[in-house]
Structure 1
Amino acid sequence: MKNITLFLAVSLSFFLFSCGDMNEIQREFEEMEEQVYLGKIDSLKGFQGINSVKLTWYYNADPRIQNTVIYWNLRRDSLVIPVKHTTPGIRKDSVVIEGLSQNSHLFEMRNVNSLGQKSLFSTVTVKAWDLEYYRSKLGARKVSNIGYNFNDLTFKLSTVSEVDGVVYSRLKYKNREGVEVEKIIENNVESLLLSDFAAGEDISIQSLIVPPYFHDSIYTDYEVYKTPYMNFKSSKRKKVLSLADAEGSLFVTTPDRLLQRNPQGQLVAYSLNEAGDQFVQSGILQGDWSEYRCMIYYDPDRIITVHGTTNNLSMHRIQPDRLVHIREFAWRWAHVYFMALNKRLFSTVKNGAMLLWRVDENGKFIPPSPAEKVVARGFNVYPNFISSYQNEGVFSLDETNFLWFYFINAEGEITSSHKMGQSRFTYMLMLDFNGDLLCLDNNGDLWLHPFAPDTSDAYWVFE
């Protein structure tokens, strides 16, 4: 009974003490003035820029708002924007803050008035960029293909999507009078023709870009491309061989010889004389080669043959007086043209696709071969031949007698294509012979055209 009485006494004391504290707290709040908040900034957004940012927000309809204060740099910098209530209701406002370093900046904003009333803060973090740093991350539209003839230069441009942010591109070049010309290229323009370009001069292209979440537009650095100069060295052609039996023959060149599979099935070897101005017969290789429809030189001392009936491919080793069969390694390849460079085998098929395989010197496919890889399309426009050149690429004449060159990198990828020149002669075949072009005409004559390795920027004139 005593315990119960003691418990009640303690509980009553605690209750009276708690009630006393609560009354004190209540009186404290009653003595405080009522806190009045202004309407808060709504929908605050930030947009990146070059050493600047853009802030956008909405005001509510609170007529007591007189100014908006923006703080940044740990509130060491601020900006006051007067608010004019010219129209009722919610309205949008914005400001660009400049002179910022490349960094992420925290912005705090609130509304105030002359009575000392304030709104709650709204905050946003936005990145500002240095111009040269950000420009280094951008790229102009690319020139993906260049073609030229005696008067015109044409080039194709890379396509543009909305996510690229390209507004337009700008092209600069010098015309034949030496006057700088500037052209605006809209995004829907995919190719351009210049009829007044100065041969050998640069053309430059840049793009105006508005990156995502940016308020700034930025010009990229100029991408510079060199226009071709006219190279007439190939006009100094020389006849190096005349053949009465050229029709129905196959031809293949090695570093030191021209091999002709004549209509009789013989494999006849020719070498240049000491003066270097005539091919002379240096031998006939053993065997009957009449069954083959194609022969491809495969560096360093191999030849690949394609059987005319079965379309099977075989690897051979070159000997001075014979081709030694190594093995048959592909079957029923009814492809149109075959060529080889950089220890890679290329072929084209009827739909114009160019395919790539890797084959070792013993006629074995190197993984991931023999799974074919399509490296390009559109090669069905060449009616007579497609030939490899050194280890740089492949070339051919189109139906209008223009020479096209396709640069191929060490991985077997076509990096660019160029319309390299034009001939007034009709050639049925062109082969690479130690960097020069060995060309066969309709009369069975073989002509050697000097062809220096500056193929990337020369327009070759065959006349």
Structure 2
Amino acid sequence: MKNLRNILITAFATILIVLVHSCSSNADDYLKFTEGGAISYTGKMDSLKILPGRDRIKIEGLIISDPKVSELRVYWDTKKDSVVIPINRTSGVDMVSTFIENLPENIYNFEVKTFDAKGNSSVSQYITAQTYGTRYQASLTDRKIVNSSLSSDLSLTINFATMDLTTGAFATEIVYTDGSDVEHTITVPVTQNQLVVPNYKIGSKFKQRSLFLPVKTAIDTFYTDFVSKDPQVIDLTYLIKNNKRPFVASSFSGRWGTLADWTTNDACKNHDGYGGIDFGCCGNPPATINLESGWGSPVITNGKIYQTITLEAGTYIFNAPLLASGSGLNSGYTLSDYVYLAVAKGSILPDSSGGVLETDPSTLGFKRIVNTMNSESAVITFTITQSEQITLGISTTQGNERYGHFLSFSLFKKNN
């Protein structure tokens, strides 16, 4: 029993000696790394941010408490790449802001540490950021235009389609030239669907491109290429003189007059030498264009009222709404009459008698007017392939007790 006790005492003493030796050894190892002193850490960067850009990032943060910090080191690609950013400390809070360039489009894991002049570092901070480049750029598409039109007062209206905001789209730039040859750039937010610009230079094109941020914190804006565009519809109504009611007469007598700025042939002057403009009768509005035959006045054969203008090559729309009464056109014109809204090459409209206008080689377009048509359907679309002189207006052959009230004339050019 006594021997067993001695054995246990000896074993305990041996274990104690080993433990003391081990602790002594560990203490020595610690001193190897601290050179005999305590570990000294520098203060880490506060409010650290990495902002993405085009093949680059921007790093931002604050140095607040540690006056010894002298540089910032940023590592990535498992420390195969790094940058060193000197820091000149002041007595207060210092802002650190710098760019790291030449980072092709990818996702990067960054390690950030501060250092003092003795090489002491802060604890590591880890942050992930993505850069954007050719792949993101290739995914971008310009904002679509629903329609664009240039009005007679030379104001350009552009109606935009909505965009997918997840693409990063936030605005569209429009560049245009005004009537004084001054170029303007307007930034249209993606939430705005219509833009109206005044004093647009007729005959000019406008340019468009769209702007994108891949994320809200991105430091670089991405752009689609500028594309030059014509207004899709150009209102050229101003080329037609005396184009709407109340129409103006060059001469008149009583109810009837002859239109100013229009050519009216003798066949239409069937009211004692006047005709074309009606100053009002029978509850109809005054100062309309009305070609009336009968009720004591002669029928009209090959009557013509027209204007001649010069247009560039393109596709055009000529429109002349008529006065409606109830559900039908307020007109006595029937299929036995040959009444046309017409456009033709040259300086005069073709004859209408027997419908020959419809096959005349100079005719560019026509709409036959009858009392069963809709009041808004007197529309002609025509195309010319070169700049040339064209004539537009009314050519009519009509029988007894016929009439029809034209309210206005408009002309538009379609570009696409």
The TM-score normalised by the length of structure 2 is: 0.50
**Alpha-carbon spacing, 1:79–1:231, altered in 2? closer, same or farther (3 Å):** closer
- Which position in structure 2 is the counterpart of 1:459? 412
**Alpha-carbon spacing, 1:158–1:422, altered in 2? closer, same or farther (3 Å):** same
- Which position in structure 2 is the counterpart of 1:37? 41
- Point out where structure 2 has 5 or more consecutive residues left out of the alignment: 237-315, 330-363, 385-410
Aligned counterparts, 1:248-259, within 5 A: none
- Which position in structure 1 is the counterpart of 2:206? 203
- Counterpart contact for 2:151–2:234, Cα < 8 Å: no
For the residues of structure 2 that align with 1:45 and 1:148, how far apart are their CA atoms? Answer: 48
- Which position in structure 2 is the counterpart of 1:134? 136
Of structures 1 and 2, the one scoring higher in RCO (CA 8 A, sep 6+) is 2
- Counterpart contact for 1:148–1:421, Cα < 8 Å: no
Aligned counterparts, 1:301-380, within 5 A: none
Seq. identity, %: 19
- Which position in structure 2 is the counterpart of 1:24? 25
Amino acid at match of 2:20: C
Q: 1:115 aligns with which of 112, 115, 118?
A: 118
Shift of 1:55: 0.6
Shift of 1:94: 1.0
SS at match of 1:169: strand
CA offset digits 1:318-361 (Å, max 9, x no partner): xxxxxxxxxxxxxxxxxxxxxxxxxxxxxxxxxxxxxxxxxxxx
Aligned counterparts, 1:225-244, within 5 A: 225-228=229-232
For the residues of structure 1 that align with 2:198 and 2:135, how far apart are their CA atoms? Answer: 33
- Which position in structure 2 is the counterpart of 1:240? none
**Alpha-carbon spacing, 1:230–1:163, altered in 2? closer, same or farther (3 Å):** closer
- Tell whether 2:109 aligns with 1:106: yes
- Counterpart contact for 1:422–1:460, Cα < 8 Å: no
CA offset digits 1:26-60 (Å, max 9, x no partner): 34435642221211222321111011110111113
- Tell whether 2:158 aligns with 1:155: yes
SS at match of 1:57: strand
- Counterpart contact for 1:149–1:422, Cα < 8 Å: no
Shift of 1:73: 4.3
Amino acid at match of 1:38: T
Shift of 1:442: 6.9
**Alpha-carbon spacing, 1:422–1:155, altered in 2? closer, same or farther (3 Å):** farther
Amino acid at match of 2:412: Y
CA offset digits 1:279-316 (Å, max 9, x no partner): xxxxxxxxxxxxxxxxxxxxxxxxxxxxxxxxxxxxxx
- Which position in structure 2 is the counterpart of 1:424? 320
- Which position in structure 2 is the counterpart of 1:182? 184
For the residues of structure 2 that align with 1:181 and 1:204, how far apart are their CA atoms? Answer: 11
SS at match of 1:50: coil
Shift of 1:137: 3.0
Amino acid at match of 1:137: S
SS at match of 1:23: helix
SS at match of 1:22: helix
**Alpha-carbon spacing, 1:460–1:83, altered in 2? closer, same or farther (3 Å):** closer
**Alpha-carbon spacing, 1:57–1:3, altered in 2? closer, same or farther (3 Å):** same
For the residues of structure 2 that align with 1:93 and 1:195, how far apart are their CA atoms? Answer: 48
- Counterpart contact for 1:172–1:180, Cα < 8 Å: no
Amino acid at match of 1:104: I
- Which position in structure 2 is the counterpart of 1:69? 73
- Tell whether 2:109 aligns with 1:143: no
- Counterpart contact for 1:110–1:119, Cα < 8 Å: yes
Answer with 1 or 2: which has the greater Rg: 2
- Counterpart contact for 2:50–2:60, Cα < 8 Å: yes
- Counterpart contact for 2:318–2:379, Cα < 8 Å: no
**Alpha-carbon spacing, 1:427–1:438, altered in 2? closer, same or farther (3 Å):** farther
- Which position in structure 1 is the counterpart of 2:222? 218
For the residues of structure 2 that align with 1:164 and 1:123, how far apart are their CA atoms? Answer: 28
- Counterpart contact for 1:38–1:112, Cα < 8 Å: yes
Shift of 1:205: 1.5
**Greater per-residue strand proportion:** 1
The TM-score normalised by the length of structure 1 is: 0.46
Aligned counterparts, 1:258-297, within 5 A: none
SS at match of 1:66: strand
Amino acid at match of 1:134: Y
- Which position in structure 2 is the counterpart of 1:97? 100
- Counterpart contact for 1:139–1:221, Cα < 8 Å: no
- Counterpart contact for 1:44–1:123, Cα < 8 Å: no
Amino acid at match of 1:423: N
CA offset digits 1:131-173 (Å, max 9, x no partner): x432333344442343454554422235689988666532134
- Point out where structure 1 has 5 or more consecutive residues left out of the alignment: 233-419, 431-435
- Which position in structure 2 is the counterpart of 1:191? 195
- Counterpart contact for 1:426–1:441, Cα < 8 Å: no
For the residues of structure 1 that align with 2:233 and 2:146, how far apart are their CA atoms? Answer: 19
SS at match of 2:131: strand
SS at match of 2:84: strand
For the residues of structure 2 that align with 1:213 and 1:19, how far apart are their CA atoms? Answer: 57
For the residues of structure 2 that align with 1:28 and 1:74, how far apart are their CA atoms? Answer: 28
**Alpha-carbon spacing, 1:30–1:66, altered in 2? closer, same or farther (3 Å):** closer
Shift of 1:203: 3.2
- Counterpart contact for 1:140–1:222, Cα < 8 Å: no
**Alpha-carbon spacing, 1:6–1:422, altered in 2? closer, same or farther (3 Å):** farther
**Alpha-carbon spacing, 1:28–1:181, altered in 2? closer, same or farther (3 Å):** closer
For the residues of structure 1 that align with 2:137 and 2:323, how far apart are their CA atoms? Answer: 49
- Counterpart contact for 1:427–1:441, Cα < 8 Å: no
**Alpha-carbon spacing, 1:175–1:427, altered in 2? closer, same or farther (3 Å):** farther
Shift of 1:108: 2.6
